[in-house]
Structure 1
Amino acid sequence: MNKKTLFITLLFFAGMIQFGYHIPEEGMFPLSEIHKLDLKKAGLKIDQNEVYNPNGISLVDALVNVGGCTGSFVSNEGLIITNHHCAFSAVQLASTPEHDYLNNGFVAKSHEQEIEAKGLTCRITDSYEDVSDRVLGAVAQVSDPASRLQLINNAMKNIAIEAEKKDPSIKAEVSEMFIGKSYVLFRYKTILDVRLVYVPNRKVGEFGGETDNWVWPRHTGDYSFMRAYVAKDGSPTKYSKDNVPYTPKKFLKVNPSGTTEEDFVFILGYPGKTFRHRPAQFIDYQAKYLLPYTSELYDFQNTTMENVGKRDKTTELKLATRIKRNANVMKNYRGKLKGIRDIDLVAQKRQEDAALAQFINNNVEVKAQYGNLMTDIDQLYKQINGDANRDLWLTQIYTSTSLLNIAKQINTFKTDLESQPSAQKETYFNTNIEKLKQALNVTYDAYDIDVDRRILKKMMSDATQFSSNQRVSAIDKVTNRGSNNDAMITDFIGDTFGLSKLKDKNYVLNTLLKSGKSIADYNDGLLLFEKDIAKQIAELKPEKDRRDGVLNKLMGDYVNVKEKFLKKDFVPDANSTLRLTYGHVRGYSPADASFMAPYTSIKGILEKGATGNPDFAYPPQIKTLWEAKDFGPFAKKELNDVPVAFLYNMDTTGGNSGSPIMNAYGELIGVNFDRAYGATINDYAWNESYSRSIGVDIRYVLWVASKIDHADFLLKEMGVKL
Structure 2
Amino acid sequence: MRLNIKSSILFALLVSASAINFSASVPDEGMFPLSELHKAGLKKAGLKISEKDIYNPGQIGLVDALVRVSGCSGSFVSPNGLIITNHHCAFSAVQLASSPLHNYLQNGFVANSYEQEIEARGLTIRITDSYEDVSKDILDAIAKTDDPIERIAIINKKKAQLVKEAESKDPSIKAEVSEMFIGKTYVLFKYKTIEDVRLVYIPRQDIGEFGGETDNWVWPRHTGDFSFLRAYVSPDGKPAKYSKDNVPYQPKKHLKVNPNGVEENDFVFILGYPGKTFRHRPAQYIEYQQKFLLPYTSELNDFQNQRMLEAGKNDKATELALATRIKRNANVMKNYRGKLKGLRNIDLIADKQKEDKALANFIQSNTALKAKYGTLMSDIDKHYQLVFTDAERELWFNNLYTGIRTYQIANLINKLKIETAKKGTLAQKNEYFNKNIALVKKELDAVYESYNVDADQKIAAHMFAQAYNLKDKNVIQTIANKNFKSADAAGSYIAQNIANSKLNTKEKLYNEVLNNAATLLAYDDEILKSQQQFAHEHAPFNQELTRREGVLNKLMGDYVAVKEIYQDKSFIPDANSTLRLTFGNIKGYSPADAVYMKPFTTVKGIIEKGNSGDIDFRYPQAIEQAWLDKNFGAYTLKGTNDVPVDMLYNMDTTGGNSGSPVMNAYGELIGVNFDRAYDATINDFAWNESYSRSIGVDIRYVLWIADKIDNAQFIIKEMGI
Cα distance in 1 between the residues matched to 2:324 and 2:302 = 15
Which residue pairs with 2:715 in the alignment?
714
- The one-letter code of the counterpart of 2:491 is I
| Distance in structure 2 (CA, Å) of the matches to 1:372 and 1:698 | 53
Match of 2:636 in 1: 635
Say if 2:5 and 2:131, in contact at 8 Å, map to a contact too.
no
Query: What is the aligned counterpart of 1:468 among 466, 472, 476?
Result: 472
Alignment partner for residue 106 of structure 1, among 86, 109, 119? 109
Q: Which runs of 5+ in 2 are unaligned?
A: none
Residues 209 and 616 of structure 1 are in contact (CA less than 8 Å); yes or no, is this contact kept in structure 2?
Answer: yes
Match of 1:225 in 2: 228
Q: In the alignment, which residue of structure 1 is the partner of 2:180?
A: 177
Residue from 449, 457, 460 that aligns with 1:456: 460
**Residue in 1 that maps onto 2:380:** 377
* 1:70–1:315 CA distance, 2 compared to 1 (3 A): same
**Distance (whole Å) between structure 2 residues aligned to residue 420 and residue 697 of structure 1:** 60
Which residue is equivalent to 1:290? 293
Q: Is the 8 A contact 1:13 1:571 kept in 2?
A: no
Distance across 2 between alignment mates of 1:646 and 1:3: 39
The question of 1:398 aligning with 2:401 is answered: yes
How far 1:646 sits from its partner (Å)? Answer: 0.3
Query: Is the 2:465–2:490 Cα contact (8 Å) retained in structure 1?
Result: no
Offset of 1:349 from its aligned partner? 0.1
**Contact 2:460/2:491 (<8 A) preserved:** no
Q: Name the residue aligned to 1:484.
A: 486
Query: What is the CA distance between 1:591 and its match in structure 2?
Result: 1.3
Give the Å deviation of 1:471.
1.2
SS for the counterpart of 1:453 is helix
CA deviation after TM superposition for structure 1 residue 38, in Å: 2.6
Match of 1:437 in 2: 441
Q: SS where residue 570 of structure 1 aligns?
A: coil
Give distance in 2, aligned partners of 1:586 and 1:685: 19
SS in 1 for 2:177: strand
Q: Is the 8 A contact 2:672 2:696 kept in 1?
A: yes
Helix, strand or coil for the counterpart of 1:358?
helix
TM-score by length of 1: 0.96
Query: Quick one: structure 1 residues 99 and 4, their matched pair in 2 at CA, closer, same or farther if it must change by over 3 Å?
Result: same
Residue aligning to 1:647: 648
**Deviation, structure 1 residue 502:** 1.0
Query: Once the 2 structures are TM-superposed, how far is the Cα of residue 2 of structure 1 from its aligned partner?
Result: 7.1
With over 3 angstroms needed to count, the CA separation of the structure-2 counterparts of 1:164 and 1:510, relative to structure 1, is farther
Deviations 1:237-275 (A, max 9, x none): 111111111111111111100001111111110100000
Deviates more, 1:498-507 or 1:591-600: 498-507
1:536-589 deviation per Cα after TM superposition (whole angstroms, max 9, x unaligned): 111212211111110111011100000010011111000011111111111111
Q: How far apart, in 2, do the equivalents of 1:488 and 1:364 lie?
A: 57
C-alpha distance 247-511 of structure 1, shift in aligned 2 (>3 A): farther
Instruction: Report if aligned partners of 1:95, 1:102 keep a CA contact under 8 Å in 2.
Output: yes
Give 3-state SS (helix, strand or coil) of 1:183's partner.
strand
**Residue matched to 1:257:** 260
Distance 1:4 1:28, change over 3 A: farther
Match 1:41 to one of 44, 60, 66: 44
Deviations 1:131-174 (A, max 9, x none): 00001111111011111111011111111011111111111000
Give the Cα separation in 1 of the matches to 2:636 and 2:539: 60
Alignment of 1:565-714 (within 5 A): 565-714=566-715
- Which residue type is aligned with residue 231 of structure 1? S
Asked if 2 retains the 8 angstrom alpha-carbon contact of 1:464 and 1:476, the reply is yes
In the alignment, the residues of structure 1 paired with residue 170 and residue 511 of structure 2 have an alpha-carbon distance, to the nearest angstrom, of 38
- Residue 491 of structure 1 and its aligned partner are, at CA, apart by 3.9
Distance 2:669 2:490 in 1: 59
For 1:191 and 1:588, the matched residues in 2 are separated by: 40
Instruction: Measure, in 1, the Cα distance between the counterparts of 2:120 and 2:255.
Output: 22
SS of structure 1 residue aligned to 2:74: strand
Closer/same/farther in 2, CA of residues 268 and 293 from structure 1, 3 Å limit:
same
Q: Is residue 5–residue 132 contact of structure 2 (8 Å, CA) maintained in 1?
A: no
- CA shift at 1:430, angstroms? 4.5
Distance of aligned partners of 1:230 and 1:426 in 2 relative to their CA distance in 1, 3 Å threshold: farther
8 Å Cα contact 2:635-2:643 kept in structure 1: yes
Equivalences, count: 713
- Distance of aligned partners of 1:112 and 1:35 in 2 relative to their CA distance in 1, 3 Å threshold: same
Which one of 152, 157, 160 corresponds to residue 155 of structure 2? 152
Give runs of aligned pairs for residues 74-473 of structure 1, distance below 5 A: 74-419=77-422, 428-473=432-477
Q: Percent identity?
A: 61
> CA distance change for structure 1 residues 601 and 439 in 2, over 3 Å: closer, same or farther?
same
Distance in structure 1 (CA, Å) of the matches to 2:476 and 2:311:
28
1:315–1:38 Cα change, 3 Å: same
Deviation at 1:5? Answer: 4.4
Q: Deviations over 1:383-433 (max 9, x none)?
A: 101001111000011101111111111212333444567797666545433
Contact kept? 1:205, 1:223, Cα under 8 Å: yes
Runs of at least 5 residues in structure 1 that lack an aligned partner in the other structure: none
CA separation in 2, counterparts of 1:111 and 1:188? 26
Contact 2:9 2:35 (C-alpha < 8 Å) held by counterparts: no
TM-score normalised by structure 2 residue count? 0.96
Equivalent residue in structure 2 for 1:70, among 66, 70, 73 = 73
Q: In structure 1, the residue corresponding to 2:343 is in which secondary structure?
A: helix
* Aligned equivalents of 1:421, 1:367: Cα separation in 2: 61
Q: For the structure 1 residues 203 and 592, does the alpha-carbon distance in structure 2 shift closer, same or farther, using more than 3 Å as the test?
A: same
* Structure 1 SS opposite 2:289: helix
> Which residue identity lines up with residue 49 of structure 2 in the other structure?
I
The 1-side partners of 2:30 and 2:238 are apart by 36
Residue 548 of structure 2 corresponds to 547
Query: CA, structure 1 residues 186+419, in 2 after alignment: closer, same or farther (shift >3 Å)?
Result: farther
Partner amino acid, structure 1, of 2:682: I
Where 1:303 maps in the other structure, the secondary structure is helix
CA distance in 1, matches of 2:72, 2:511: 35
CA shift in 2, pair 1:345/1:492, >3 Å: closer
CA distance in 2, matches of 1:218, 1:24: 24
Change (3 A) 1:133 1:431: farther
| TM-aligned CA deviation for residue 590 of structure 1 | 1.0
